[in-house]
Amino acid sequence: MGPPGAGKGTQAATLASLIGGAHISTGDIFRANVDQQTELGQAAQRYMDAGEYVPDEITNAMVKDRLTHDDAREAFILDGYPRTVDQVDTLDGILAELGSKLDGVISLVVDPEELIQRLLKRAETSGRADDTEEVIRHRQEVYTQETAPLLEAYGNRGVVIEVDGMGSADEVGQRIVDALPR
Ligand code: B4P
């Protein structure tokens, strides 16, 4: 978990290949569907372009399906999910059904201005409609309101692993590996 620009996608991809698990990024799945103009992509696009969250019922159904794929049977990294209280509840239900559990919730902590600078830099090449400064700032607000409180809920369960997300991607990656439960 972490605000937009914290390095979730960057670190989740590396970590998934390290542990040999599936990298499940809800943002990536939505963007692939938008590119292919699927029904799911058409449903998600206007929310994403505006920096709003895609409605829970759409996101939850997508993750529920994805978690039943073969590559997620042994291990998986969820990247960008859950982001709302409803998504936490749904994930609890999905994992109970699958007889699975979360080993940890990695929380990447990055200075707010650094987040904006990273995303503005990405905007130079990404072509993402949600990488304009106005939408980037709105996405930070949505995160603070909707998602930051989830860290307290997971904190109460004793599963949050807080990691300093400042510095190079390699440095942050090493900190994550060092902080993982053995
Ligand atoms: P995401 O795809 O999750 O986008 P994001 O929050 O911007 O994170 P991302 O993973 O891309 O960025 P990262 O921090 O790795 O979501 C996009 C949209 O999809 C949401 O706004 C929403 O509409 C929708 N969505 C997704 N999940 C949803 C859900 N569960 N419920 C509802 N809606 C959902 O990296 C950012 C940049 O920083 C990159 O350019 C990277 O190269 C750079 N970077 C990373 N680490 C760095 C470092 N250490 N130093 C310098 N730069 C670094």
Cis check: omega of the bond before 82, within 30 degrees of 0: yes
With respect to residue 71, please indicate whether it lies within any of the assigned structural domains.
yes
**Residue tagged active-site, from 31, 66, 83, 118:** 83
Q: Report pLDDT for 182.
A: 78
- In angstroms, rounded to a whole number, what is the distance separating the alpha carbons of residues 120 and 135? 11
122 annotated active-site: yes
Number of folded domains that form the chain: 1
For position 56, what pLDDT does the model report? 98
Assigned domain for 2 exists: no
Q: pLDDT band for position 101 (50/70/90)?
A: very high
- Amino acid at position 144, single letter: T
Asked if the structure places residue 181 within a domain, the reply is no
150, pLDDT greater than 90: yes
Residues flanking ligand 1, CB < 6 Å: 4-10, 26-27, 30, 47-48, 51, 53-54, 59, 80-81, 83, 87, 118-119, 122, 130, 139, 168-169, 172
Render pLDDT for 3-19 as a digit per residue (tens, 0 to 9): 999 999 999 999 999 99
**Tell me, what CATH number does 62's domain have?**
3.40.50.300
- Give the Cα separation of 56 and 3 in Å (integer): 18
CA-nearest of 10, 41, 145, 140 to 131 is 140
73 in active site: no
pLDDT digits (tens, 9 = 90+) for 151-180: 999 999 999 999 999 999 999 999 999 999
Q: Exactly one of 8, 31, 66, 118 is catalytic; name it.
A: 8
| pTM as predicted | 0.93
Average pLDDT of the residues of the chain? 96
Q: What is the pLDDT of residues 20-54, one digit of tens each?
A: 999 999 999 999 999 999 999 999 999 999 999 99
According to DSSP, the residues that pair with 163 across neighbouring strands are 108
Query: Is the residue at 1 inside a domain?
Result: no
Q: Residue 87, exposed/middle/buried by CB under 10 A (0-12, 13-18, 19+)?
A: buried
Nearest alpha carbon, ligand 1 atom 16: 27
Residue 102 counted as domain residue: yes
| 182: in domain | no
Write out the residue range of the structural domain in which residue 87 sits: 8-176
Å from CA of 172 to ligand 1 middle: 15
pLDDT band at 181 (very low <50, low <70, confident <90, very high): confident
pLDDT tens readout for residues 111-148: 999 999 999 999 999 988 999 999 999 999 999 999 99
**22 part of a folded domain:** yes
Atom number of ligand 1 nearest to Cα 130: 21
Give the distance between the most distant pair of CA atoms in the chain. 43
Q: From the CA of 5, how far away is ligand 1's center (Å)?
A: 5
The ligand 1 atom at the shortest distance from the C-alpha of residue 48 is 23
